[in-house]
Amino acid sequence: MSNPLVARRLAIVPTTNCSLNCKLCCDFLNGPVKRRDIPFEQVCRDIDACFDLIDHVEWLQFVGGEVFIYRDFPKLLDYVQKYRDRFDRIIIESNGTVFPNEEGQRAILSYGKDISLFISDYGKLSRARDQFIAFFEEHQVDHRLKKYYGDDQYFDGWIDNNNPHDLKEPGDVLEVNSRNCVQNRCKNMHCFDGKLYRCSNSCFMQEMGLFPPKPGDFVYLHDDSVSREEKREIIEQFYEYARQSCRYCKFKYIGILPRHPAAEQL
Ligand code: SF4
Ligand code: SF4
C-alpha cells in the first residue's frame, strides 16, 4: 500500500472573473489570462478528482479572481462539507469588494472555527471591508486583513511579474532558485479547469499559453489514460524540480525585487 499523500495547501479556483482590474495582477488577469467562470458541476468534479488522488489536505483554499462574485460559491462551500474529515481548515481569499449574500454568510458560518477569511484590504477599492469586519466580529470568524494601501503595505507591496519571458538561468541555478521559491516552500497547489498545478504561476502561465504543455508539469485530473498511481507520483514530484513556468517566473526573486503599490487599476 502506498504512503498517504498529504497536500499542505490546495487552492480551488472556481473563477478568474474579478471585480477589480489590477495593473500588476499576479494571475495575469489584466489581459493574458481570460476571465471566466468554471461551471459549478465541473468545479465539483475537479474537487472530487483531487480528493480521489490526495488523502489529506491541511488548508483547502478558495481563490479567484474574486470568489464572492462567483454565483455558486455558497453551493461550493456546502459541497466540500462531504470531505470535512479530509481537510483541516477552509481558507477563503477575497479582495474585500463584494460582501457575501445570506446564503454565502450561512455557508461560511457552517464551518464554525474551522474557516478563515484572508481579506486583501485595498483601501477605498475594498468597499465591503467594513461589512466584512462587522460580520467577523459579530460571529467571531477567524480572519486576516492584509493592508495594501498607503504606507506600510503588507509585504511592502507587490512585485511586477508581468510580461514573463525566459530568464535564461543555467539549469542548476534554475533548480536551486526554484527550490527556494516561497511558492515552492509553501507547497500551494492550484486546481483550475480540470488540471492540478504546483503553484498559481505554474497554473496561470500555462493558462496564458506561454509554452506548450509538458508531461509532468501538472496533472490532467480527468485523463483516464493515466493511472491514479501515476497521477499521485506526479503530485509527489511537484516540488522536487523546476517546472517550465519557473524558467519564466520572477517570483522566486521576491526577496530582492522592487516593490510597487498594490492594486493600481488599469
Ligand atoms: S484583485 Fe487584482 S490582483 Fe487580485 S485577482 Fe483581481 S485583478 Fe488580479
Ligand atoms: S518560480 Fe514561479 S512557477 Fe516556479 S515555484 Fe516559484 S512561483 Fe511557482
Residue 215 banded pLDDT, cuts 50, 70, 90: confident
Could you tell me the fold of the domain covering 6-253? TIM Barrel (3.20.20)
Ligand nearest, relative to CA of residue 19: 1
Give nearest CA residue, ligand 2 atom 1.
246
All 3 cell numbers of residue 174?
534554475
CA distances from 135 to 42, 109, 197 (A): 31, 10, 33
Q: 3-29, pLDDT tens digit by residue?
A: 899 999 999 999 999 999 999 999 999
3-class SS shares of the chain: helix, strand, coil, % to 5: 40, 20, 45
- State the pLDDT at residue 94: 98
How far is residue 206 CA from its own chain's centroid? 14
pLDDT for residue 3? 85
Going by C-alpha positions, the residue among 57, 7, 13, 10 that lies closest to residue 192 is: 13
Give the pLDDT score at 124: 97
Burial class (CB in 10 A: 0-12, 13-18, 19+), 219: buried
Residue pLDDT, tens place only, 168-188? 999 999 999 999 999 999 999
The CA distance from 88 to 95, in Å, is 23
Domain boundaries of the chain, sorted by first residue: 6-253
Closest ligand to 210 CA?
Answer: 2
> Is residue 136 over pLDDT 80?
yes
The answer, yes or no, to whether residue 160 has pLDDT greater than 90, is yes
Which atom of ligand 1 approaches the CA of 19 most closely? 6
For ligand 2, pick from 208, 246, 254 the residue to mutate: most ligand atoms within 8 Å of CB.
246
- Check: CB of residue 160 under 8 Å from CB of residue 260: yes
Prediction pTM value = 0.97
- R_g of the chain computed on alpha carbons: 18
Q: Which residue has the higher pLDDT, 1 or 201?
A: 201
Q: Is the pLDDT at 1 greater than 80, yes or no?
A: no
- Residue 183: CB within 6 Å of ligand 2? yes
Answer whether residue 32 shows pLDDT above 80: yes
